[in-house]
Structure 1
Amino acid sequence: MPVLNSIAALQPEMQEWRRWLHRNPELQFDLPRTSGFVAGKLREFGIGEIHEGIATSGIVAIIEGQGDGPTIGLRADMDALPIKEASGAEYSSETSGRMHACGHDGHTAMLLGAAKYLADTRNFKGRVALIFQPAEEGGGGGNVMVQEGIMDRFDISQIYGIHNAPNFAEGEFFTTPGPIMAAVDTFHIDITGKGGHGAMPHDTKDPIVAALGIGQAIQTIVSRNHYALDELVVSITQIHTGTADNIIPGTAYIEGTVRTFDPAVQDMVERRLGQIVTGQAAAYDVDATCRYERGYPATINDAEKAAFAASVAADVVGEDKVTPDARKEMGAEDFSYMLNVRPGAYLFLGAGDGPVLHHPEYDFNDAIAPIGASFFARMVETAQPL
């Protein structure tokens, strides 16, 4: 079955909603205009059960079907990023330094489109829980919603989410059973030496030399401490030190990211980082500490639900446009917290050529919104048929 005709007819409205959201980006949990807009649309659709203020600005809306049955959860993220937009679109961000650079405006519009269709037709048993989530970008809003009890409170039995994927074929779906996105951790290294004149290094304890040594040694974690065929990324992403060409500074700071799928690998990386920092500090006669923060866990699809989701996607776009066993991604997602407590699946929807996610020139492709909305709607009707 192709894109639902009534949802295809909603494309101009979904585009209007999405572009309003794009012009009005908000960050993390502070989403008063965004959540207000979403709640207003849900009321316009005739949805009477709307729960606001979950995880500060999240929303769960319930649509009752026809007859008794379980509750299926559909999730969209709503927050933007602290990036100055450079897309040149006429509907560009009206708030300097903030933009929807990851397509959460599009995800929200897709779920709103599905909501309107489902509220109009109610061609399913049981209930659907529409989850509009804040703070995916670093705040762990998905975890907060779980901790606030949405799964038990609304008796959600399974859950699904979509993310747009630039530079994958427009309208094609990708998913996989088991791990699909990595766990993400962050490390912070503080180095304290003794500053001095750049012409007299013998009177200093140079933290820059130590930082370079630590940075080089960290690269051996992947190349020498880890089995080459297992997935692991360790990347240094920030080094801050120094103020002038003739001053050796007293301190240096290193920050980076770790991406894994196996908790044992996380443990190994944390242990080796500590050992390397301690050893290199002694070698360069400086003091150094390493702080390791565990972030979002790996996003792990339930195998049965991933196969089911792929079959529903094939009903919408055709079997030849669905990859049910795609490669894992080393990016991270806080939808992982929801999949930790309920079976379900996460899918990518190809958005066609364009700037990558988190790029200042990125813009969501409005043409794929009816496809995503149709997937959400068909998922409900297929999982809980009359």
Structure 2
Amino acid sequence: MSDSVTLGRPRPLQINGRAFAQIARFHPELTAFRRDLHAHPELGFEEVYTASRVTQALKLCGVDAVHTGIGKTGVVAIIEGRQPGNPRHARPMTGLRADMDALPMTERNEFGWKSAKPGLMHGCGHDGHTTMLVGAARYLAETRNFAGDAVLVFQPAEEGRGGAEAMINDGLFERFPVQSIYAMHNWPAMRPGTIGINSGPMMAAADRITIEITGKGGHGAHAYLTVDPILVAAHIITAVQSIVSRNVKAMDNVVVSLCAMQAGDMAAMSVVPGHATLVGTVRTFKPEMQDFVEQRLKQLCAAVADGFGATATVNYERIYPATINSPAEYRLATRVAEQLVGAENVVSNLEPSMGSEDFSFMLKEKPGAYFRLGQGEQLSDGKGSVVGGVGSHFLHNSCYDFNDSVLPLGAALFAGIVERSMPMA
């Protein structure tokens, strides 16, 4: 289904389960914690304050061990269940992940917990994700109604800096060999109390392309003596759009976008530059489509440039792989969600997004599931126009804020996954 189907004013919901009821008792404390993180945003691999607050909160919760400095600023907590699991097999371990970093953008909100750091903002809700995992930690440490170990991963640097990969390279899964791992992301286009998931691709792979065009510069009044790289770039921009429209099957979702161009000097109106650069992104779900688009881009750009007497080279960087849920973990997460909010409030065939997420690195190493938690309370003026509402601004918007009303639900969802994946005998 499309994201727009879920828009609208939230319906009253009955959220079920002991975990939700218990976590709801300390909802005010979670709200205060989340707002403190929001006021103190930090970029990827710089989450010193955030990691220290998380560590302090986890120790107060009574977790069994807290490990810091994993992947530079990452934090991992261990909570042991009341039963150790089958002694003839490896001790069961289920992982839960939340991201901690903020964005380099200026906040335009005016509430009391707005960013205290100019040019930095929690514009994607990672403050909320971190808080929900802290809430789950408190509940799990108090109850311990599971057999095995819960491994809580507080990840740095999700926003384009590869924090998940950094934690993996730092020995995350060797030190904490979880059998499965789960993560969630708030979604303003879905109502509070709704949860979205599917059994396969959730988010696309993200690749960066840089096209370097070399021509021959000269005087704009004597352009016939030049090989104009701007003209070549214009033809490449047009030609590249044919890759998806004419070379890719309609069922294979692919996006190729050239998003920036640099050539010449704005102050030099009559100078044809000798060089131009195009930068863009490719989004795919299948590795074979990544291979095809990379090959086709290189062939097409070189051929177009050659037709004008120029040269073009393509640097294709694979940044994030696709985020793909594994079937068994999808089913488990779906059952937990349905138990909490009812099957009618779980979108179990959610349409994949062409955005990307570096939790994908963890899902390449371990089976798991990634899902969305609705948080947008869209309010109408009664004439068909949306006039705002808590959580109504979309991600990476300068007026965005996480909707604190969903904190207990997200924490209960995390906790329920642990209890269901490692049930007591």
Deviation at 1:165, TM superposition (A): 0.6
Question: Aligned AA for 2:59?
Answer: R
* Contact persistence 1:88–1:361 (CA under 8 A): no
Aligned to 1:191: 213
Letter in 2 for 1:368: V
Are 2:215 and 1:177 aligned? no
Note the C-alpha offset of 1:131: 0.3
Deviation at 1:372, TM superposition (A): 0.4
Per-residue CA deviation, residues 316-368 of structure 1 (Å, 9 max, x unaligned), is: 11111001121111111111111112111111011114221112221111111
Specify the SS of the correspondent of 2:307.
Answer: helix
1:1-386 matched pairs, under 5 angstroms: 1-2=16-17, 4-69=20-85, 70-242=92-264, 243-244=266-267, 245-352=269-376, 353=378, 354-386=392-424
Aligned residue identity for 1:108 = T
Which residue identity does 2:76 align to in structure 1? V
- The amino acid across from 2:179 in the alignment is S
Distance 1:4 1:254 in 2: 50
Q: 1:96 deviation in Å?
A: 1.6
Question: 1: CA distance between counterparts of 2:68 and 2:402?
Answer: 26
Structure 1 residues 1-39: Cα deviation after superposition (integer angstroms, max 9, x where no partner):
246112112221111111111111111112111111111
Name the CA distance, whole Å, in 2 between partners of 1:93 and 1:53.
25
Between stretches 190-199 and 312-321, larger displacement belongs to 190-199
How far apart, CA to CA, are the structure 2 residues paired with 1:37 and 1:198?
59
Label 1:247 to 1:355 Cα distance change in 2 as closer, same or farther (>3 A): farther
Q: Secondary structure at the match of 2:355?
A: coil
**Offset of residue 261 of structure 1:** 1.0
Report Cα offsets for 1:79-137 as digits up to 9, x if no partner: 11111222333322122221111111110010011111111111222110010001111
For 2:416 and 2:291, how far apart are their aligned partners in 1? 41
Give 5+ residue unaligned stretches, structure 1: none
| Bigger mean CA deviation after superposition, 140-149 or 70-79 | 140-149
Where 2:180 maps in the other structure, the secondary structure is: strand
RMSD value, Cα? 1.4
Q: For the residues of structure 1 that align with 2:349 and 2:330, how far apart are their CA atoms? A: 9
1:205-262 deviation line (CA, Å, top 9, x unaligned): 2111111111001000001111112111111111122323333223211111111111
SS of residue matched to 1:377: helix
Structure 1: how far apart are the matches of 2:219 and 2:105? 37
Deviation, structure 1 residue 370: 1.0
Q: Distance in 2 between matches of 1:198 and 1:86?
A: 44
Q: More displaced, 202-211 or 304-313?
A: 202-211
| Corresponding residue SS for 1:200 | helix
Task: Tell me the CA shift for residue 277 of structure 1.
Answer: 1.4
Task: State the alpha-carbon separation in 2 of the partners of residues 250 and 20 from structure 1.
Answer: 51
TM-score, normalising length: structure 2: 0.88
Deviations 1:259-296 (A, max 9, x none): 11111111110011111111111122223211000111
Deviation of 1:78 after TM superposition, in Å, equals: 0.4
Aligned to 2:10: none
TM-score of the pair, normalised by structure 1: 0.96
CA distances 1:17-63 after superposition (whole Å, capped 9, x unpaired) = 11111111111112111111111111111224111000000011001
| 1:192–1:251 CA contact under 8 A, matched in 2 | yes
* Letter aligned with residue 65 of structure 1: G
Q: Give the deviation of 1:152 after TM superposition.
A: 2.9
Residues 130-165 of structure 1: CA deviation (Å, up to 9, x unaligned): 100011111111112122222232221111111001
